[in-house]
């Protein structure tokens, strides 16, 4: 049986690398990592979780368009 991919599994490599580095430093980033591992779809994330992902994933919100926030474009595969 194939495992369903989580939001964490679908993160772009550079975002995932930044999140992993942050998770080693900050407990809140570690909690976010486990939250992303428990969600299967981008639409399940709360606004706070997306904000934290922008912070700990080292993403600049001003470089992202509205589709990135709504559907995870430029953040997940």
Query: Which tens digit of pLDDT belongs to each residue from 34-57?
Result: 999 999 999 999 999 999 999 999
The whole-angstrom separation of Cα 2 and Cα 5 is 9
Q: Is the pLDDT of residue 1 over 80?
A: no
Query: For the packed helices 47-56 and 13-25, what is the interaxial angle rounded to 10 degrees?
Result: 90
**Percentage above 70 pLDDT, the chain:** 100
pLDDT score, position 3? 85
**Model pTM?**
0.90
Q: Which of 50, 48, 19 is nearest to 33 (CA)?
A: 19
The whole-angstrom separation of Cα 41 and Cα 29 is 19
pLDDT score, position 76? 95
CB 19 within 8 A of CB 52: no
Read off the pLDDT band of 26 (50, 70, 90). very high
The whole-angstrom separation of Cα 66 and Cα 41 is 17
């Amino acid at each position: 049986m194939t495992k369903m991919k989580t939001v964490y599994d679908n993160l772009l490599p550079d975002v995932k690398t930044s999140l992993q580095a942050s998770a080693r430093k900050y407990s809140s980033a570690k909690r976010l990592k486990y939250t992303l591992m428990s969600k299967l779809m981008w639409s399940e994330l709360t606004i706070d979780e997306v904000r934290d992902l922008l912070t700990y994933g080292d993403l600049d919100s001003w470089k992202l368009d509205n589709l990135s926030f709504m559907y995870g474009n430029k953040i997940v595969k």
